[in-house]
Amino acid sequence: MAPQMNLLGMIGGTSWHSTIVYYRLINELVGEKIGTQGNPPLLIHSLNIELMRSGDKKKINETYLEVAKKLQEAGAKAIVICANTPHMVYSYVTPKIDIPILHIADATGKEAQRLGIKKLGLLGNKPTMTGGFIQSFLQENYKIETIIPDEEFLKESHRYVSTELTQGNFTDTAKSFFIQQMKLLQEKGAEGIILGCTELPMLIAPGDFDLPMMATTQLHAQMAVDFILKKL
């Protein structure tokens, strides 16, 4: 008999490359648990990435709330937002719906806690690095300090993510840039690095640097799978 699985809602599209990675990972990880004769039930709503690029926080918040409510009404028992940056809506949307949003920083914090890490460097696009929503969650829930690159490097990091990585373009130049940022964060005391962009683990492999790397997408997908297979 096929196992009972909880219906998960997924909000994707930022970018669609990221959403594909989430979808593949969740199916593969569930398959490792139940076998490949079945797959998890999923509801996917893929947004236009232009919404996030508009920078209109009010519209972003309202759109994510509207989508979350639709997924809830369709029967989803929890929601996963399939990227780092859109977690900026978490504090706005969560109190207005009746099902949980599985926070990407929660998955990251659990892994850092397991490794005994108290100070993390954060890499990603500018909104993720400077928005504070990852840092505050880790501090409030795990007492983990999060540091980011110096101001002079934020624009370049954002450019690589938004104009190359989210377009599926992975270059040696981008890889060298991010590894250099890891070295600078390590010099500031970082004990691990958050790869806070879904595409960054596609650019940088675990053996490319000598600190633990928190691939948020992998950790978040595993958290989603744990929920799908959890008995409610």
Return the sign of the alpha-carbon dihedral for residues 135, 139, 141, 144: positive
pLDDT band at 167 (very low <50, low <70, confident <90, very high): confident
The answer to whether residues 128 and 84 touch, using CB atoms and an 8 Å cutoff, is yes
Q: Of 109, 103, 106, which Cα lies nearest the Cα of 83? A: 103
Would 8-103+219-228 and 105-216 be classified into the same CATH topology? yes
Residue 111's identity, in one-letter code, is E
Give the CA-trace dihedral at 82, 85, 86, 87, to 10 degrees. Answer: 90
Q: Where are the domains of the chain?
A: 8-103+219-228, 105-216
CATH architecture of 105-216: 3-Layer(aba) Sandwich (3.40)
In this prediction, residues 189-214 reach a mean pLDDT of 89
Residue 171: predicted pLDDT: 87
> Between these two residues, 126 and 10, which has the higher pLDDT value?
10
What's the CATH code, domain 8-103+219-228?
3.40.50.1860
DSSP 161: I
Mean pLDDT for all residues in the chain: 91
CA end-to-end span of the chain, whole Å? Answer: 18
Give the tens place of pLDDT for each residue, 40-50.
999 999 999 89
Residue holding tokens 């490792």?
A: 32
Displacement of CA 83 from its chain's centroid (Å)? 4
Return d(Cα 217, Cα 168) in angstroms, integer. 16
Return d(Cα 133, Cα 156) in angstroms, integer. 21
* Phi-psi region at 112: left, alpha or beta (left = phi > 0; alpha = psi -120 to 50): alpha
Residue 1: predicted pLDDT: 52
pLDDT band at 232 (very low <50, low <70, confident <90, very high): low
pLDDT band at 107 (very low <50, low <70, confident <90, very high): very high
